């Protein structure tokens, strides 16, 4: 018997992560549109306190699945534990935030419980009682609408930032502890260490003006163009991931989900396509200017000013004009 | 060590794409394709592992005829042979179905290690590697940034959010999904290119894979479309001098940074 | 490389005799699909590498190609492009080699010259004339880039007149070694190379008499007595190493004689036939790149309230550049396919391609600089370096003057046994004259009526008719001047130049017509290139007509007088203020 939506609240070092709350918000909205209930689950060595922190939200139940083997996330452990929670909650839908963790185990879980899966959704529509999910395809150049078919359960994962946790409905949810038994589960991955990458030497979070370089610059030598513009504007230089991977820029100047998050007065994106992993790191900037020759570049969707042009023409001219204006 | 690299072909990054007539795919005319970025890094990692530990690298690709070009490129870079699941005329959006087909094609190969990219730049499900691992009963790790094979085990560095990493160890055989940037991709050598034409590309039709429910799909794709803008965006285009003067004005009066 | 005797007659040599050997150049050649795929992959690999590694302005400033770039190219296999696979090379056809070379030129001309001096002229003598033992000894090292090659013909006293070299190799008493003495000049890769193809005079006994004839040798740079001078400071291709070489009693083992004793000149000329074609291909790449660069610049530069690209004088330049580039490309890849057949004599076509492409490049460089105005003249823009780099192409591997004379004279010698019969004919004036005219006349009689291109697509009707008419003009003019001057023709360079210019544009028209006609017959649209075809062919036949008219009706006498005037005065003999 199918039973509403079950949200998996991600445990981030003993706390429910932001994407968990965002996904719960999505579930509340979709649940209400579909006329079905929402419950949530949280996993950990000791999940009770985290579950308690969600008790004040609008939901039918918060399942706390605790087990010593869940101290560190492992795909085997999480899959086995969720299998048991799901058996108990018997949801029609399972929603998970499309975090790095979810990328690691949700597909595996889907096979275990014989579920259908649509990943990395950014929006939804409910039409005639059925759920249509929107996700990005072709690296954000297009959106696509998807629906489930055949028997559930159905799993959907939601992109970070697709729903704002500000819309989370308060309420009261009963916290229910689920005894998960992992004694028969072989956990094959052995977590050795968790550590921070390169030491951040630059903190761009305070920068007022950031000129950010993308792969559109074509080669390292052209970085001088953005450096010149940043200098003229009295700002800092940052970049997209490939620009840092290729060594055109130091890795600690990378913006995005695996880099820094910034919100300057001006973010000037030069030759950056606007992949979501980049956008999450800069979309809260006060004023966004993007220079891209592709009129459909996803970066334009969040830009205040979209400059559709060849950066190699605009950037030198702009640098000159800014120098003259200053 | 016997290594498979699951490799997919996608449109080049700065291709200008248009939705095709039935609204379910792009118009492929005049589009150039390339090896999916993270798969390309995966191929490089496979080649490096082979150079270190000996063995064989097998490219496994599903796609229409055009993917031969990417296969040849992978062979030119040093992969030993390839399996091409020719999917001309097959269109099923379900990643589970794709994984089943891939598994059917490779299950008898007994790979020690299966690598894939972390996600594709076309459909972007990010599931294939994980699904294949589960279907073949192998351990897996995703978002891999470093590998280190040592007697029957593999230690990997996984990327976490916000600049954090995790080091985990898993038993072989295993599946890894590779994150872009973990190594430096080599250039194909001319010798490699010439040698590629002598390497085996085993072509299998979907119907020959014995997957009875290859056409079954748990999900349905309804249409692909250009996203509707939600934000008010001023578009500047055309004459460079004109763009620049308008932009400087905005930087002064709206962004207030000048 | 299958080396057969060249049995098929050259298209251009036939044309000089009024015969349009259409089968030789129709349909326009295409690479087999698998070779095309390989080529595409090689180009992709090169582009990926070069984008990261090659910094042309830096090479120009430093007058040096960074070691890592050459090493990277070696690792990719670029040093063995045309060396057969069995010796560790890539075994590319001449066509594929040319296309790759074109792409190398697009990144940096110094790099291209370095590569060409190694892979083309530095290696081709060995490929064409080397013994199996010599090939096994040297080719793998050259293919891997472990060794770099150079071609050493020019001497201080012998540039255009290559047969006049003075370096001498004398067999020692034990007949184990040649003792080589002398020096070379302007040798590309001189100080960075390991193996030199050196040309020197040797004593050959012919009909019981000792004669001095040129022989070719494979000389290792590390042998005692070999030394290279310091790199020349040059106007362009500054990153390419050019030095003098000196030979001081160098002991060259007899097994390092390349080709038969006394046949060195032939080795040199055949090597240069191939080399020139590569150069021409590089020039094609330059023409295309410059056309694009000039157009991009023009589109972005505003004057009088609009982009200068809209002004028709600028359009005239761009259109000419594009049409020239199209014609040059058509000529080069037609010729490379002739070379790939290994049975066709393509020496004339190769010389013509080099002359046309190098001059088209020079015009393009000049116009691109002009379109860029003051910026064009600034070192912050690339145009100046391109002008400097482009200039060498009119000078080396046979100056364009020498190649024009060659085109006219070799063309006029007629098809057939030109080296033997006609070579003698030219040296033996009285007998030779008979031979020459006899040949030409006989050929014309064979043809009876004017030969024409057959079965050409209607879209090309006008171009084909012009070609037919002026091919006929070429033949009749050749006949006329041979009748008039006979053996003396070798002293009439005014005429030679006109005949050569006619031949150059006729070959260009033939190549363009073949290319477009073949495309039409493949049911492909030619709409977009038709304007280029029309522009080139129109300019070409008008030039041919002008040259033809001037063969009889000219001011050559005044030219001689003008030179006499200048040559005979110490200073320019006019000055408007003192008249
Ligand atoms: C798990 C994960 C984590 C990631 N983390 C991050 C992250 O933290 N930060 C990040 O940035 N990325 C991250 N990425 C990568 C991300 O998905 C994109 O691949 C990346 O952001 C693309 O960088 P880009 O925009 O510079 O390059 P591209 O997507 O290649 O875009 C280049 C753009 O330049 C434009 N362009 C090209 N030439 C010109 C020209 N002459 N003039 C004007 N425009 C031109 C093109 O139209 C194109 O839009 C992550 C990916 C994954 C899967
Ligand atoms: C950068 C560079 C690289 C070179 N690399 C090599 C190399 O790798 N190997 C090698 O062997 N050589 C090389 N050369 C030499 C080059 O091939 C010669 O410079 C060229 O053949 C011209 O010879 P020259 O310099 O002696 O000029 P000259 O022969 O002195 O010519 C001077 C001028 O007189 C003209 N001229 C001469 N004879 C006639 C005639 N009969 N009719 C009309 N005009 C005539 C020429 O066309 C030219 O315009 C290189 C030269 C340069 C500048």
**DSSP string across C113-177:** HHHIIIIIIHHHHHHHH--HHHHHHHHHHHHHTSS-EEEE--BTTBSS-GGG---EEEE-TTSSE
Residue C338 backbone phi and psi in degrees, to 5: -60, -45
Alpha-carbon dihedral sign for residues C295, C296, C302, C307: positive
pLDDT in tens, C40-77: 999 999 999 999 899 999 999 999 999 999 999 999 99
Q: Which residues of C are catalytic?
A: 397
Above 50 in pLDDT, residue C426? no
- Chain A: give the shortest CA distance to residue C51, in Å: 7
Structure tokens at A12: 């981030």
Would you say residue A124 has pLDDT above 50? yes
List the residue whose alpha carbon is closest to atom 52 of ligand 2: C186
* Chain C from 290 to 309: CB within 8 A of any A CB: 300
- What is the CB neighbour count within 10 angstroms for residue C573? 9
B201 min Cα distance to partner chain A (Å): 28
Contact A218 C300 (CB under 8 A): no
Domain with CATH 2.40.110.10 in chain C: 149-265
| Interchain CB distance below 8 Å, A200 and B163 | yes
Relative to the alpha carbon of A311, which ligand is closest?
1
Mean of pLDDT values over A120-145:
94
Res. A3 pLDDT band, cuts 50 70 90: confident
At residue C429, does pLDDT exceed 50? no
Chain C CB contacts of A220 below 8 Å: 52
Give CA–CA dist C63/C239, Å, rounded. 4
Minimum distance, in Å, between the CA of residue C77 and any CA atom of chain B: 5
pLDDT of C1 reads: 38
Sign of the torsion angle spanned by Cα atoms A270, A272, A274, A280: negative
CB contact under 8 A, A138 and B134: no
Chain B residue with minimal CA distance to A209?
A: B257
Strand pairing category for A305-308 and B81-86:
unpaired
Closest in C41, C75, C80 to B193, CB measured: C41
Question: Residue A119 and residue B126: Cβ atoms within 8 Å?
Answer: yes
Q: What are residue B26's DSSP bridge partners?
A: B19
A193 touches C: beta carbon within 8 Å: no
Residue for token pair 């190219």: C73
Interface of A with C in 297-326 (CB under 8 A): 313
- Can you give the pLDDT at residue A129? 85
Query: Closest Cα to atom 4, ligand 1: which residue?
Result: A277
Give the C-alpha separation, C11 to C21, whole Å.
6
Q: State the first-to-last Cα distance of chain B, in angstroms, to the nearest integer.
A: 60
Contacts of B220 (CB under 8 A, 6+ apart): A146, A147, A148, A149, B93
Q: Does C81 contact B190 at a Cβ distance shorter than 8 Å? A: yes
CB atoms under 10 Å from CB of B68, counted, come to: 18
User: May I ask the CATH class of domain C149-265?
Assistant: mainly beta
If one residue of C166, C186, C393, C563 were mutated to test the ligand 2 pocket, choosing by the most ligand atoms within 8 A of its CB, it would be: C186
φ/ψ (deg, to 5) at A120: 60, 50
A273, A214 Cβ separation under 8 angstroms: yes
pLDDT of residue C7: 54
Q: Any idea of the CA torsion for A253, A259, A264, A267, to the nearest 10 degrees?
A: 70
C570 touches A: beta carbon within 8 Å? no
Helical H segments across C448-529, by residue range: 461-485, 493-521
CB contact under 8 A, B219 and A289: no
Q: How far apart are CA B152 and CA B149, in angstroms?
A: 8
- C250 forms bridges with which residues in the sheet? C180
Tell me the C-alpha distance between A158 and A18, whole Å.
12
Picking from A74-83, A292-301, C446-455, C484-493, which range would have the lowest pLDDT averaged per residue? Answer: C446-455
C-alpha dihedral over B221, B225, B226, B229, to 10 degrees? -80
Q: Which two tokens stand for residue C354?
A: 């080099």
All residues at 6 or more sequence positions from C228 whose CB lies less than 8 Å from its CB, including other chains: C187, C190, C191, C221, C243, C244, C245, C246
| Nearest of C455, C462, C463 to residue C521 by alpha carbon | C455
Chain C residue numbers with beta carbons less than 8 Å from the beta carbon of A313 are 300
Q: What is the mean pLDDT of residues C242-266?
A: 97
Q: Is the pLDDT of residue C360 over 60?
A: yes
In short, whether C152's Cβ falls inside 6 Å of ligand 2 is yes
Across the interface, whether the CB atoms of A313 and C52 are under 8 A apart is answered no
Catalogue all structural domains in chain B, each as residue range(s) with its CATH number. 2-208 (3.40.50.620)
Mean pLDDT of the residues in chain C = 92
Burial class (CB in 10 A: 0-12, 13-18, 19+), A55: middle
Query: Cα torsion at C137, C141, C143, C144 (round to 10°)?
Result: 150
The Cβ-side half-sphere exposure at A109, using a 13 Å CA radius, reads: 31
Whether residue A171 has a cis bond before it, omega within 30° of 0? no
Q: How far is C45 from chain B (nearest CA, A)?
A: 6
How confident is the model at residue B230, as a pLDDT?
77
Q: Give yes or no for a contact between A51 and A63, defined as CB atoms under 8 angstroms apart.
A: yes
Which residues of chain B neighbour C47 with C-beta distances below 8 Å? none
- Kindly state the average pLDDT of the residues A216-236: 95
User: HEC profile for B20-54?
Assistant: CCCCCCECCCCCCEEECHHHHHHHHHHHHHHHHHC
Mutate: best of A139, A159, A216, A255, partner B, most B CBs <10 A: A139
- What is the whole-number distance in angstroms between the Cα of residue C247 and the centre of ligand 1? 58
Distance CA C147, CA C74 (A): 10
- Residue labelled with tokens 């040129």: C214
Angle separating helix axes C264-300 and C383-391, nearest 10 degrees:
160
Indicate which residue's Cα is closest to atom 14 of ligand 1.
A277
pLDDT at C266 over 50: yes
Name the class of domain C402-565. mainly alpha
**pLDDT tens digits along A75-111:** 999 999 999 999 999 999 999 999 999 999 999 999 9
Distance from CA of A220 to the nearest CA of C (A): 8
Handedness of CA B209, B212, B217, B223 (dihedral sign): positive
**Average pLDDT value for residue range C444-470:** 86
Question: For residue B221, what are the CA distances in angstroms to A148, A149, A157, B121?
Answer: 9, 10, 16, 17
**Which helix H or strand E contains B167, and what residues bound it?**
strand B164-171
CA C163 to chain CA centroid, nearest Å: 19
Nearest-atom number in ligand 2 for the CA of C153 is 11
- Mapped onto helix, strand or coil, the DSSP state of residue B4 is strand
Query: What pLDDT shows up at residue C3?
Result: 40
Share of chain C above pLDDT 90, in %: 86
* pLDDT at res. B99: 97
Q: Which residues contact B157 (CB under 8 A, 6 or more apart)?
A: B144, B145, B146, B165, B166, B167
Q: Burial letters for C427-452: b for 16+ Cβ neighbours within 10 Å, e otherwise? A: eeeeebbebbeebbeebbeeeeeebe
Ligand 2 in reach of C199 Cβ (< 6 A): no
Q: Which residues of B touch A241 (CB under 8 A)?
A: 180-181
Q: How confident is the model at residue C17 (pLDDT cuts 50, 70, 90)?
A: confident
Instruction: State which H helix or E strand residue A109 sits in.
Output: helix A100-112
Give the separation between CA C318 and CA C295, rounded to whole angstroms: 7
State whether B167 and A303 contact (CB < 8 Å): no
Helices H, strands E: what count in chain A? 8, 17
| C-alpha of residue C163 to centroid of ligand 2, in Å | 13
Cα A216 to ligand 1 centre (Å): 8
Q: Ligand 2, closest atom to CA C398?
A: 21
Name the residue at shortest CA distance from atom 6 of ligand 2: C187
DSSP label at C578?
G
Note whether A191 contacts B166, CB cutoff 8 Å: yes
Angle between helical axes of A223-233 and A311-325 (0-180°, round to 10)? 20
Which residues of chain A does C52 touch, with a Cβ-Cβ cutoff of 8 Å?
219-220
**Domains contained in chain A, CATH given:** 5-192 (3.40.50.620), 199-325 (3.40.50.1220)
Residue B130, CA distances (Å) to A107, B177, B248, C218, C389 in order: 6, 8, 49, 60, 55
- State whether residue A247 sits within 8 Å of chain C by CB: no
pLDDT surpasses 50 at C430: no
The length of chain C in residues reads 579
Decide: C216 in ligand 2 pocket, CB within 6 A.
no
Residues 6+ apart with CB under 8 A from C35: C93, C96
Task: Round the average pLDDT of chain B to a whole number and report it.
Answer: 95
| Residue A53 structure tokens | 């922190």
> Given an 8 Å threshold on Cβ–Cβ distance, is A219 in contact with C300?
no
Give C399-423 pLDDT, tens digit per residue: 999 999 999 999 998 632 333 354 4
Question: Chain B contacts of A111, Cβ < 8 Å?
Answer: 96, 131, 134-135
- Phi, psi (rounded to 5 degrees) for C168: -135, 140
How high does pLDDT run on average in chain A? 94
Q: Where in chain C is the domain with CATH 1.20.140.10?
A: 402-565
Ligand 1 centroid to Cα of residue C165, in Å, is 60
Q: Whose CA is nearest to atom 27 of ligand 2?
A: C159
Q: Are A258 and B159 in contact (CB under 8 A)?
A: yes
Residues 6+ apart with CB under 8 A from A318: A229, B244, B247, B248
Res. A325 pLDDT band, cuts 50 70 90: confident
Q: Give, rounded to a whole angstrom, the gap between the first and last alpha carbons of chain A.
A: 68
Beta carbons of C553 and C347 less than 8 angstroms apart: no
Residues framing ligand 1 (Cβ under 6 A): A 214-216, 240-243, 254-259, 271-273, 275, 277-278, 281, 291-294, 297, 310-312; B 13-14, 118-119
Beta carbon of C283 within 6 Å of any ligand 2 atom = no
Q: Do the chains contact at A219 and C51, CB–CB below 8 Å?
A: yes
Band of pLDDT at residue B60, cut at 50, 70 and 90? very high
Residue A310 φ/ψ, nearest 5 degrees: -75, 120
Mean pLDDT, to the nearest integer, of B210-224?
Answer: 94
**Closest atom, ligand 1, to C-alpha of A213:** 26
pLDDT per position as a tens digit, A250-270: 988 999 998 899 999 999 999
The CA R_g of chain A, rounded to the nearest whole Å, is 22
Question: Could you tell me the distance, in angstroms and rounded to a whole number, from the CA of residue C398 to the centre of ligand 2?
Answer: 6
């Amino acid at each position: 018997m199918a039973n509403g939506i079950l949200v998996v609240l991600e445990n981030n070092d003993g706390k429910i992560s932001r994407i968990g709350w965002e996904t719960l918000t999505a579930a509340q909205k979709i649940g209400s549109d579909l006329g079905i209930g929402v419950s949530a689950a949280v996993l950990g060595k000791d999940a009770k306190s985290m579950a308690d922190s969600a008790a004040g939200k609008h939901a039918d139940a918060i399942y706390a699945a605790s087990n010593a083997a869940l101290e560190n996330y492992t795909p085997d452990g999480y899959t086995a534990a969720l299998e048991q929670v799901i058996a108990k909650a018997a949801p029609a839908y399972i929603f998970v935030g499309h975090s790095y963790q979810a990328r690691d185990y949700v597909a595996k879980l889907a096979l275990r419980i014989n579920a259908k899966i649509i990943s990395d959704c950014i929006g939804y529509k409910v039409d005639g009682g059925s759920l249509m999910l929107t996700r990005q395809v072709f690296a954000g150049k297009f959106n696509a609408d998807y629906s489930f078919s055949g028997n559930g359960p159905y799993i959907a994962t939601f992109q970070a930032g697709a729903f704002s946790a500000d819309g989370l409905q308060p309420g009261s949810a009963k916290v229910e502890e689920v005894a998960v038994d992992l004694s028969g589960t072989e956990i094959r991955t052995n977590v050795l260490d968790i550590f921070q990458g390169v030491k951040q030497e630059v903190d761009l979070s305070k920068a007022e003006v950031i000129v950010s370089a993308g792969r559109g610059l074509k080669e390292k030598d052209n970085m001088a163009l953005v450096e010149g513009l940043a200098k003229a504007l009295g700002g800092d230089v940052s970049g997209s991931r490939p620009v840092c991977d290729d060594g055109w820029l130091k890795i600690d100047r990378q913006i995005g989900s695996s880099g820094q998050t910034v919100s300057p007065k001006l973010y000037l994106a030069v030759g950056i396509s606007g992949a979501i992993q980049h956008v999450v790191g800069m979309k809260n900037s006060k004023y966004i200017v993007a220079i891209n020759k592709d009129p459909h570049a996803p970066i334009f969707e969040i830009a205040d000013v979209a400059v559709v042009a060849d950066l190699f023409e605009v950037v030198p001219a702009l640098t000159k004009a800014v120098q003259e204006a200053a | 060590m016997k290594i498979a690299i699951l490799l997919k072909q996608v449109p080049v990054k700065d291709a200008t794409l248009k939705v095709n007539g039935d609204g379910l795919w792009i118009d492929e005319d005049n589009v150039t394709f390339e090896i999916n970025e993270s798969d390309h890094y995966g191929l490089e990692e496979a080649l490096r592992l082979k150079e270190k530990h000996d063995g064989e690298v097998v490219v496994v690709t599903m796609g229409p005829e055009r993917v031969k070009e990417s296969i040849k490129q992978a062979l030119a870079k040093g992969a030993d042979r390839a399996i091409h699941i020719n999917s001309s005329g097959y269109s099923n959006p379900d990643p589970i179905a794709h994984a089943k087909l891939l598994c059917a094609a490779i299950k008898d190969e007994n790979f020690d290690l299966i690598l894939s990219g972390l996600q594709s730049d076309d459909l972007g499900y990010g599931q294939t590697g994980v699904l294949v691992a589960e279907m073949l009963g192998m351990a897996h790790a995703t978002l891999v940034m470093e590998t280190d094979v040592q007697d029957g085990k593999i230690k990997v560095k996984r990327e976490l959010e916000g600049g954090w990493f995790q080091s985990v160890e898993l038993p072989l055989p295993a599946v890894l999904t590779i994150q872009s940037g973990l190594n430096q991709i080599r250039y194909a050598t001319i010798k490699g290119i010439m040698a590629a034409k002598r390497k085996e590309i085993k072509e299998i039709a979907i119907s020959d894979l014995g997957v009875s429910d290859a056409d079954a799909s748990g999900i349905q794709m309804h249409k692909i479309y250009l996203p509707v803008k939600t934000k008010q965006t001023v578009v500047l285009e055309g004459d460079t001098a004109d763009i620049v003067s308008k932009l400087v004005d905005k930087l002064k009066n709206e962004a207030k940074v000048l | 490389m299958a080396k057969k005797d060249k049995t098929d007659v050259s298209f251009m040599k036939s044309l000089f005799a009024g015969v349009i050997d259409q089968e030789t150049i129709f349909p326009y050649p295409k690479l087999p699909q698998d070779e095309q795929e390989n080529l595409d992959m090689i180009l992709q690999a090169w582009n990926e590498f070069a984008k990261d590694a090659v910094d042309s302005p830096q090479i120009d400033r430093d007058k040096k190609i960074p070691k890592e770039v050459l090493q990277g190219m070696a690792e990719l296999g670029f040093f063995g492009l045309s060396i057969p696979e069995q010796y560790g090379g890539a075994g590319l056809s001449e066509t594929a080699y040319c296309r790759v070379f074109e792409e190398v030129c697009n990144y940096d001309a110094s790099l291209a010259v370095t590569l060409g001096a190694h892979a083309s002229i530095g290696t081709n003598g060995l490929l064409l004339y080397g013994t199996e033992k010599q090939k096994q000894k040297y080719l793998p090292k050259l293919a891997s880039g472990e060794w770099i090659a150079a071609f050493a013909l020019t001497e201080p006293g012998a540039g255009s007149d290559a047969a006049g070299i003075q370096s001498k190799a004398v067999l020692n008493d034990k007949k184990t070694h040649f003792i080589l003495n002398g020096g070379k000049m302007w040798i590309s890769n001189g100080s960075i190379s390991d193996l030199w193809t050196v040309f020197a005079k040797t004593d050959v006994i012919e009909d019981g008499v000792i004669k001095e004839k040129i022989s070719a040798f494979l000389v290792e740079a590390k042998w005692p007595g070999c030394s290279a001078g310091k790199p020349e400071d040059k106007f362009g291709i500054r990153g390419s190493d050019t030095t003098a070489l000196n030979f001081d009693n160098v002991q060259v083992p007899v097994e390092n004689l390349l080709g038969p004793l006394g046949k060195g000149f032939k080795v040199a000329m055949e090597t240069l036939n191939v080399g020139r074609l590569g150069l021409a291909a590089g020039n094609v790449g330059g023409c295309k790149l410059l056309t694009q660069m000039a157009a991009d610049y023009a589109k972005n530069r505003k004057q009088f309230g609009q982009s200068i690209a809209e002004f028709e004088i600028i359009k005239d330049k761009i259109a000419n550049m594009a049409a020239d580039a199209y014609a040059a490309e058509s000529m080069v890849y037609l010729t490379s396919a002739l070379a790939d057949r290994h049975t066709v004599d393509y020496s004339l076509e190769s010389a013509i391609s080099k002359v046309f492409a190098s001059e088209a490049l020079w015009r393009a460089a000049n116009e691109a600089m002009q379109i860029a105005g003051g910026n064009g003249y600034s070192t912050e823009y690339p145009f100046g370096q391109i002008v400097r780099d482009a200039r060498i192409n009119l000078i080396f591997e046979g100056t364009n003057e020498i190649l024009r004379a060659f085109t006219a004279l070799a063309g006029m010698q007629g098809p057939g046994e030109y080296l033997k019969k006609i070579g003698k004919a030219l040296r033996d004036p009285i007998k030779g004259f008979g031979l020459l005219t006899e040949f030409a006349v006989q050929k014309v009689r064979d043809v009876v009526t004017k030969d024409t291109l057959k079965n050409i697509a209607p879209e090309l009707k006008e171009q084909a008719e012009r070609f037919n008419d002026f091919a006929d003009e070429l033949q009749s003019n050749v006949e006329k001047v041979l009748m008039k001057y006979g053996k003396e023709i070798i002293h009439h360079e005014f005429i030679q130049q006109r005949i050569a210019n006619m031949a150059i544009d006729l070959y260009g028209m033939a190549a363009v017509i073949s290319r477009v006609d073949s495309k039409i017959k493949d049911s492909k649209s030619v709409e977009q290139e038709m304007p280029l075809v029309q522009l080139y062919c129109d300019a070409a036949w008008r030039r041919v007509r002008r040259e033809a008219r001037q063969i009889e009706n000219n001011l050559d006498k005044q030219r001689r007088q003008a030179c006499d005037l200048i040559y005979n005065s110490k200073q320019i003999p006019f000055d408007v203020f003192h008249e």
